[in-house]
Amino acid sequence: MLLDAHELHISYGDIRAVNGVSFDLQEGELVSIIGANGAGKSSILNGIMGIVPLRKGSIHFDTDEITSLATHQRAKAGIRMVPERARVFPRLTVYENLMAGAYGLRKRIKIAKQIAWLHDLFPILKERNNQPANTLSGGEQQQLSIARALISEPKLLLVDEVSMGLMPKLVDQVFEVLKQLNRDHGLSILVVEQNAMASLKISHRAYVLETGTCVHEGRASELLEDPKVKEVYLGH
């Protein structure tokens, strides 16, 4: 098991955002957690990254318990997150944004190789290499945010609501890249999404989250056919 999250509880004061959610992810899997706005998806990713504390529960990564590690130690262990709303540095260039993801990667040659690979994967970033990130469109900023997370070759990529604010065509493009990274590069990916259809289509397995509780789990292909999931999450 690459990631094993057991009985996670996360609260903000009196607000219980996540109430005993358990899930796991094998190496090479693409898993989604789908749920409406406010269901607790970002809290779960922030909990895995150590950005918000757990009230209860445990997290194992790559056989080690990481529950009490600091965020930078989890990053060093190989977990990277693409946060909600891309969050690129607006005034830094595309190149500088990419380099910001390379901390801990000391070897210059390695960085050059990674950048060449990312430029292949996201040609627009090569084209816009020296432009400030705020001149990119929303979809391009999402690509930059994903590329920045990938530069350090994570073992696990956490992706928070990458579809938010994107036009349907761009949603498909970004999800296609995630699928490709998983299928062709063996990258393990945990996606959290309100866009159930788009994320189920590229996932192996999924968990359905409702107000901080997991109410369904299963193979993505089965969830796509599940009458209740269809009614509530797929809009038919």
Ligand X SMILES: Nc1ncnc2c1ncn2[C@@H]1O[C@H](COP(=O)(O)OP(=O)(O)O)[C@@H](O)[C@H]1O
Contact residues toward ligand X (CB under 6 A) are 12, 15, 17, 35, 37-43
Map residues 41-60 to x or -, x wherever contact with Mg ion holds by CB under 5 A: xx------------------
Can you list the positions of beta strands (E) in the chain?
A: 3-12, 15-25, 30-34, 56-61, 64-65, 79-82, 156-160, 188-193, 205-210, 213-219
Is residue 127 within 8 Å of residue 159, measured between CB atoms? no
Residue 15 binds which entry of Mg ion, ligand X, none, with Cβ cut-offs from 5 to 8 Å by kind?
Answer: ligand X
For ligand X, the closer of residues 37 and 63 by Cβ is 37
Q: Check binding of 32 to Mg ion (CB under 5 A).
A: no
Rg (CA), the chain: 17
Is residue 175 within 8 Å of residue 198, measured between CB atoms? yes
Q: Give the separation between CA 143 and CA 82, rounded to whole angstroms.
A: 10
Least distance to ligand X, CB of residue 59, Å: 16
Least distance to ligand X, CB of residue 17, Å: 3
For Mg ion, the closer of residues 41 and 205 by Cβ is 41
- Longest CA–CA span in the chain (Å) reads 52
Residue 17 binds which entry of Mg ion, ligand X, none, with Cβ cut-offs from 5 to 8 Å by kind?
Answer: ligand X
Residue 35 binds which entry of Mg ion, ligand X, none, with Cβ cut-offs from 5 to 8 Å by kind?
Answer: ligand X
**Strand partners for 141:** none
Least distance to Mg ion, CB of residue 101, Å: 21
Least distance to ligand X, CB of residue 104, Å: 27
224 Cβ contact partners less than 8 Å away, ≥ 6 residues apart: 197, 200, 201, 230, 234
Token digits of residue 221:
């292909």
For Mg ion, the closer of residues 122 and 175 by Cβ is 175
Residue 39 binds which entry of Mg ion, ligand X, none, with Cβ cut-offs from 5 to 8 Å by kind?
Answer: ligand X
Least distance to Mg ion, CB of residue 87, Å: 13
Residues of this chain that bind Mg ion (CB under 5 A)? 41-42
